[in-house]
Chains A and B, each alone.
Chain A
Amino acid sequence: MTTIDSSPDVAGDSAIGRLLAADAAWLTSSDHKKIGRMFIGAGLLGLLATIIVNLVIAIERVDGGSAALDTDSWTQLLGSQRVGLVFGTALPLVAGLAIAVVPLQLGARALAFPRLAAAGMYMWLGGFVLSIISLADNGGFGGGNSDMVDLFLAAQGLMALGFTAVGICLATSVLTTRAPGMTMRRVPFFAFSAFVFGIGLVLVMPVLIGALIYLFVDHRSGAREAFGGNQGIATWAGWIFTQPTTFLFAIPVLGLFAELLPVTFRKRTPMRGIVFAGLGLVGVSALAAVTQQLRFDVPWNGSQLYIGDGDDVSTKLGDVAPWAFFHLLPVLGAGILFLMMLFLAKPTKDEDGNSVLPNATGGFLFAFFGFGMVFVGMLGSAIEPIVDLGLIDTVFGEASLVYVAYGVALGVLGGIVYWAPKLWGHAIEMKKVAPLALLGVAGTVLAAFPQYIAGFLDQPSGLAYDDGDLQIWNILTLVGQAMMALAVLAFVGLLVSTVLGSDSDAVDDPWDGQTIEWATTSPAPTDNFVDVPAVTSAEPLLDLKTANDSTDNAKESAS
């Protein structure tokens, strides 16, 4: 629902007036679908900007011995990469998709506090733009321009405040706007994952804001003792850009994957509680985020684990327990989803004895690849803190962040393809999506996996290195980043051309969905549903289809 009425004097007389009125209606809209789509659009731009930064880094690393850029700007470049992957890519994309889709899945007419969500989006956008400005002018981590460092800290705080607001809206929506009959156990997996994500934001972002306030006052006042001024930013606020904190931002992608499994394999998900538990286990990463800055001497490296001998059992347990808690539980959660996929993929036959073929959609393809990339990133981040492997302070950690962030991006692209009929009234064709999904996953693997290898070969986390044998891995990374850029650019082009290309052409339920968003029209109307539907199971639409099929069969038998 939009609250802006366009004046006939302005809107009706000229094309410019109508355009301005339409823009104003979009920018001030309280329709969750519009807010979500604006978030996604800005997030896609952030993703492209981040890939460009990654490309520059990769080019710079091709020859580790010489620098094309001024070496003073390396810190800002690497800082831009971290900020871009987390605040420019992963967070806005998942937040946008969740805002756009969750109320539809819940059978709600609106998001709870849509204006707060819109304010959160604008706070993020403002903070992100200010971050770019500050990083470009020698601010950010270890920046030399004092004012720009202050601006960077304030911008991070603004973004964190915005995502706190988004988290409150999402969590409140799931708790209070569900359709009649939709108990928490019947909530669709994606909406549940958005709930876990929202609570995680409420828990994590305020802790980041607190750290940023300390850093800001310490730096701005000129004291610069407690936190080491600009050098302390990475130590005290850097945990938001590292694993396992970033797993929290991947939870909606895991929820999307779980959501698409039963639709793809045309079955009901058995033991839904286990899937909920799996998504909740990944949410443990929120605890890692809010505690690791206190628990460990070197928070940037997360929970370090030393396997070698020399320590007594209690010391060893003291190391292993937080490592296992923060790194292995999220892996276990994602592993549960993988096992569920294998379970659902088991071939079955229908009542007539015919094999039930999977309904592989473009959305599932992207979501599957996105899940896989996040999972590989999780595995990498689990072994990174093992001191014996010598991966700390190498490019290995950066690679696992790239895996997670690009995995999140691929997953969200899957969500866009899957829910495009509801959001834009257009279905994006599988034959156009599939090559892009393959290009995206190949790009992600090439952009990150060579860095895993280079990490084992002790390439340091900066831009320079001495060992010439490392060059091949950095060239492969450059190729991967270029492929990812191509995939995202092509996807954006495909999305824009599909949305603007013709009138609405999507049927209401193109993927044979099971949840109630597929019971409304495509595109979904402003208030989502003409009548708020009653829900009697976790798959209400599947129930209806099964009942209709039974009725049709009975009629055929009778005739």
Chain B
Amino acid sequence: MEALAAGPAPAPRNQLTVASVFAAVAMIMLTGGMLGVWAVKRSAVVDAGESWLPSGVTVPEVPTNVILIAFPALCSFAQWAVWASKRNDKANTVFALGTSAFVALLIVNAQAFVWNQMGVVVADGEYGSMFYALTGTFMALMVVGLLLSLVSMFRYLAGRTRDREILIAHAIFWYAMTAVYTAIWFLVYVTK
């Protein structure tokens, strides 16, 4: 065996941060691809002189806009948790993570309210199945984010206060989700 000289101890590698960036890219590609198909289908219907939104269906603007406003707040709380953990401020970190989870829960509730208000039937034509596929995917990602917030909080409460990378990953997730929802909001709820 050839003997190569041993190297120095490796520097911190931020693996979780890098992986969470890739996961965020994957989330954006997932919803980006779905929104692209949505745009193509909508364009075909509109070009044929028909209405894309089924008759009798209206988009409830208040909850959809509230969700949009809630996301920057969610990002702020997630970043607050990162900031506080760097200062070993356990109380602020846990509070910020708990607040993130709470706001995520509110968004889940608001999306369920949107579904209820719109009253779209899944089996009722193109719009129905595509609408629930798209917003259902968004809801699934929200549930993942909610669980991530809760797991991060309980890990911190359990004493793993030096493991800060998961908080950075948590913040990256919510930044990506903000981008995802902004695109959905514009294409599905504003452009209609």
Binary contact track B23-35/A, C-beta < 8 Å → 1, others 0: 1011101111110
Collect the chain B residues with CB atoms within 8 Å of residue A548's CB.
2
**Contact status B26-A206, CB under 8 Å:** yes
Task: Please report the C-alpha to C-alpha distance between residue A176 and residue B132 in the assembled complex, in whole angstroms.
Answer: 38
Nearest CB of A to B133, in Å:
4
- Cβ contacts A512-556/B at 8 Å (1 or 0 each): 000010111100000000011111000011001100100000000
Does B128 lie within 8 Å of A175, measured CB to CB? no
With both chains docked as a complex, state the minimum distance between the C-beta of B132 and any C-beta of chain A, in angstroms.
6
- Are A202 and B22 in contact, CB atoms less than 8 angstroms apart? yes
Docked-complex contact B25 and A202, CB < 8 angstroms: yes
A545 with B2: CB separation less than 8 A? yes
Tell me whether A172 and B2 are in contact in the complex, defined as CB-CB below 8 angstroms, given that A180-B8, A211-B37, A221-B122 are known contacts: no
Q: How many residues of B contact A (CB 8 A)?
A: 42
Are B34 and A223 interface neighbours, CB within 8 A?
A: no
Q: Does A77 contact B (CB under 8 A)?
A: no
Q: Is B33 touching A207 in the complex (CB atoms < 8 A)? A: yes
Q: Is the CB of A225 within 8 A of B129?
A: yes
Q: Answer yes or no: B47 CB below 8 A from chain A CBs.
A: no
B29, A290: Cβ atoms closer than 8 Å: yes
- Is A290 a contact of B33 with CB atoms below 8 Å? yes
* Chain B, interface SS category: helix
Q: Determine, out of A183-191, A212-220, A356-364, A407-415, the stretch whose residues face the partner at the interface.
A: A212-220
Which residue of chain A has the shortest Cβ distance to B131 in the bound complex? A217
CB-contact partner of B15 in A172, A509, A519, under 8 A: A172
Q: What 1/0 mask marks residues of chain A from 180 to 214 whose CB sits below 8 Å from any chain B CB?
A: 11000000000000000001001111110111011
Q: Which residues of A have CB within 8 Å of B18?
A: 112, 172, 175-176
- Are A214 and B37 in contact, CB atoms less than 8 angstroms apart? yes
Docked pose: A6 CA to B136 CA in angstroms: 43
- Asked if B50 lies at the interface with its beta carbon under 8 angstroms from chain A, I say no
| Partner of A113 from B8, B15, B41, B128 at Cβ < 8 Å | B15
Q: Are B5 and A519 in contact (CB under 8 A)?
A: no
Bound-state CA distance A424–B2 (Å) is 19
What residues of chain B lie closer than 8 Å to A207, measured between beta carbons?
A: 29-30, 32-33
Pair A176/B13 contact, Cβ less than 8 Å: yes
A558 contacts across to B, CB distance below 8 A: none
Which of A180, A221, A236 is B129 in contact with, Cβ under 8 Å?
Answer: A221
Secondary structure of the A contact surface, majority rule: helix
Q: Are B8 and A214 in contact (CB under 8 A)?
A: no
Contact in complex: B133, A213 (CB < 8 Å): yes
Would you give the shortest CB distance from A313 to chain B, in whole angstroms? 25
Number of chain A residues close to chain B: CB under 8 A: 56
Q: Does A508 interact with chain B (Cβ within 8 Å)?
A: yes
A181 touches B7 (CB 8 A): yes
Instruction: Give the docked Cα–Cα distance between A509 and B3 (Å).
Output: 12
In the complex, chain B residues 100-133 whose Cβ is within 8 Å of any chain A Cβ: 122-126, 128-130, 132-133
Judged by a CB distance under 8 angstroms, whether B6 is at the interface is yes
Known A223-B128, A226-B41; judge A213-B137 contact (CB<8 A).
yes
* A217/B7 in contact, CB under 8 A: no
Q: Cβ of B2 and Cβ of A544 under 8 Å apart?
A: yes
How far is it, in angstroms, between the C-alpha of A5 and the C-alpha of B167 when the chains are bound? Answer: 31
Residues of B within 8 A of A293 (CB): 33, 36-37
The CA of A302 and the CA of B87, in the complex, are separated in Å by 54
* Interface check A103, CB cutoff 8 A: no
Instruction: Say yes or no: is B159 at the interface (Cβ < 8 Å to chain A).
Output: no
Q: Is the CB of A218 within 8 A of B129?
A: yes
**Is A485 in contact with chain B by the CB < 8 A criterion?**
no
In angstroms, Cα B23 to Cα A206, docked, is 10
The verdict on B158 contacting chain A, using a C-beta distance below 8 Å, is no
In Å, the complex CA distance between A548 and B3 comes to 11
Give the contacts of A231-245 with B (CB-CB under 8 A): 236
Report which of A107, A202, A509 forms a contact with B2, defined as CB distance below 8 A. Answer: A509
Is there contact, CB below 8 Å, between A112 and B19? yes
On whether the beta carbons of A533 and B128 are closer than 8 Å, the reply is no
A479 at the interface (CB under 8 A from B): no
> Does A471 touch B at the CB level, under 8 Å?
no
Contact B19 A172 (CB under 8 A): yes
B3 touches A221 (CB 8 A): no
Contact A223 B8 (CB under 8 A): no
Residues of B within 8 A of A519 (CB): 1-4
Closest residue on chain B to residue A108 by CB atoms: B10
Alpha-carbon distance between A167 and B21 when the two chains are bound, in angstroms: 12
* A225 pairs with B126, CB closer than 8 A: yes
Contact B26 A164 (CB under 8 A): yes
Bound-state CA distance A210–B39 (Å) is: 14
Can you list 6 contacts pairing A with B, beta carbon distance less than 8 Å? A171-B22, A214-B130, A217-B122, A294-B39, A532-B10, A534-B8
13 further A-B pairs in the complex, CB-CB below 8 A; given A112-B18, A202-B26: A171-B22, A180-B7, A206-B29, A207-B32, A210-B137, A216-B133, A217-B132, A221-B132, A223-B123, A508-B2, A531-B7, A533-B4, A534-B7
Report the 3 A-B pairs with minimum CB-CB distance, sorted nearest first.
A534-B7, A180-B7, A207-B33
